[in-house]
Amino acid sequence: MKMKMKIQPQTIVKVAWNAFVSLWVLALLYGIYMDQYRIFLIVRNMEVQQEKLSQSIAEQIKLLSPKKQPDHR
């Protein structure tokens, strides 16, 4: 017994819609992930810059602090 299966047009529309929605959700999640990663990189860069600035300020303070003079009493 041969049964010919006919694909309903509604099925094609449903599959296409599901694929579209799935891809859209994946794109949305990927966009959120990339935004979070970009924020992470910016924050890390700011921390590195702050550390460099702190070291630079410490070196400047060292250079500007007066040298201890020996007591001549």
Rounded to an integer, what is the distance from CA 26 to the centroid of its chain?
17
What is residue 9's predicted lDDT score, i.e. its pLDDT?
A: 81
| Low-confidence spans in the chain with pLDDT less than 50 | none
Using the structure block, give the residue that is written with the tokens 């959120």. 32
What is residue 71's predicted lDDT score, i.e. its pLDDT?
A: 64
Tell me the C-alpha distance between 14 and 65, whole Å.
76
Rounded to an integer, what is the distance from CA 73 to the centroid of its chain?
63
Whole-structure pTM value? 0.55
Distance (Å) of CA 51 to CA 42, 46, 48, 55, 57: 14, 9, 5, 6, 10
